[in-house]
């Protein structure tokens, strides 16, 4: 099969690295060759973070080539916009409807992009855009920190990998006492895309 390319973007502290770890582990458990790469910049919190994950028969480079991402999974709106150029024509975008203002914005030096700008840019990139209220689901489930797992739930519903593989990997990768919370978040995330579809 053609290599499948995922980009996971967000803000440091949103759990993107755990999400890309899980994506890679799921691919491996599903029988693919996988590679992943996280770019963290300085290891100070609150910076932009991007994770590349690739599944395929034989994957060489750990980096998703520019303009060839099949899926952009954005945990934050601005961090979604920033990487639109990486998405391939007719690729799929899942974008959490959460705004986290960078200091340039909160200190009044620049403005956060307006909704119209956001929508136009998304539409220009691909018709397959899913604006997900994943942060609301995470809070509903009980903790904003499971946002990453809600987003994985959403992407999982678009892929052919067995739900059990996802859940086994999640159980393995999260602290034991939060396993149920995370699995709950994952399942709610799976429903999210369908809801948005209708």
Partner 1 sequence: MKVLMSGNEAIARGAYEFGVKVATGYPGTPSSEILENVAQYKEIYAEWSTNEKVAMDAAIGAAYAGRRTITTMKQVGMNVASDAFFYAVYTGVRAGLVIIVADDPGMFSSQNEQDNRHYARFAKMPLLEPADSQEAKDFLGIGLQMSEEWDTPVLLRTCMRVSHSAMPVEISERKWDDEAKMPKWVRNQEKYVSTAMWAKKRRPIIEERIVKLADVSDKISINRLEWGDRKLGIIASGPVYEYAREVFPNASFLKLGMTYPLPKELIRQFAEGVETLLVIEELDPFIEEQVKAMGIKCTGKEIFPSYGELLPTDIERLTAKAGLFPIDKVLEPRDVTPQNLPSRSPVLCPGCPHRSTFFNLSIKGKFKNLVIAGDIGCYNLGALAPFYATDSMGSMGASFGVAHGFDIAGIHDTNQKVIGILGDSTFFHAGITPLLNIVHNGGRSTMVILDNATTAMTGHQDNPGIEKSLSGKGVKVDIEGVVRGCGVQFVRKADAFNVKAVDKAFEEALAFEGPSVVIVEGPCFFTGDFKEDPYEVDSERCTACGVCFRLGCPAIARSDEVYEKNRKRKALIDPVLCTGCDMCAQVCTFSAIYTTATDKK
By CB under 8 A, name the one of 68, 131, 133, 171 that touches partner 1.
68
Looking at beta carbons only, is 62 or 178 nearer to partner 1? Answer: 62
Q: Residue 53's closest CA among 18, 88, 12?
A: 18
Among 47, 50, 53, CA closest to 39: 50
CB 54 within 8 A of CB 23: no
Exactly one of 18, 19, 34, 73 binds partner 1 (CB under 8 A); that residue is 34
Please report how close the Cβ of residue 22 comes to partner 1 at its closest, in angstroms: 10
CB 129 within 8 A of CB 95: yes
Instruction: Pick one of 15, 16, 31, 40: the residue that binds partner 1 (CB under 8 A).
Output: 40
Residue number with CB closer to partner 1 (82 or 187):
82
195 interacts with partner 1 by CB under 8 A: no
Range 84-143, binding partner 1 (CB under 8 A): 84-85, 87, 89, 101-113, 117-118, 121, 124-125
Provide the binding-site residues for partner 1, judged by CB under 8 A.
11, 21, 24-25, 28, 33-48, 59-63, 65-68, 78-79, 81-85, 87, 89, 101-113, 117-118, 121, 124-125, 144
């Amino acid at each position: 099969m053609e290599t499948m390319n995922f980009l996971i973007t967000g803000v440091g502290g949103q759990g993107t690295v755990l999400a890309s770890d899980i994506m890679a582990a799921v691919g491996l458990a599903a029988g693919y060759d996988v590679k992943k790469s996280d770019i963290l910049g300085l290891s100070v919190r609150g910076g932009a973070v991007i994770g590349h994950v690739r599944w395929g028969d034989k994957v060489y480079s750990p980096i998703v080539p520019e303009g060839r991402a099949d899926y952009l999974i954005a945990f934050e709106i601005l961090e979604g916009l920033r990487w639109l150029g990486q998405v391939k024509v007719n690729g799929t975008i899942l974008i959490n409807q959460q705004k986290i203002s960078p200091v340039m914005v909160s200190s009044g030096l620049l403005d956060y992009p307006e909704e119209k700008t956001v929508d136009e840019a998304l539409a220009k990139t691909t018709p397959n855009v899913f604006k997900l209220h994943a942060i609301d689901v995470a809070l509903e489930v009980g903790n904003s920190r499971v946002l990453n797992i809600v987003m994985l739930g959403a992407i999982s519903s678009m892929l052919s990998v067995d739900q059990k593989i996802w859940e086994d990997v999640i159980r393995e990768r999260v602290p034991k006492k939060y396993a149920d919370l995370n699995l709950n978040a994952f399942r709610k995330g799976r429903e999210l895309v369908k809801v948005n579809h209708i």
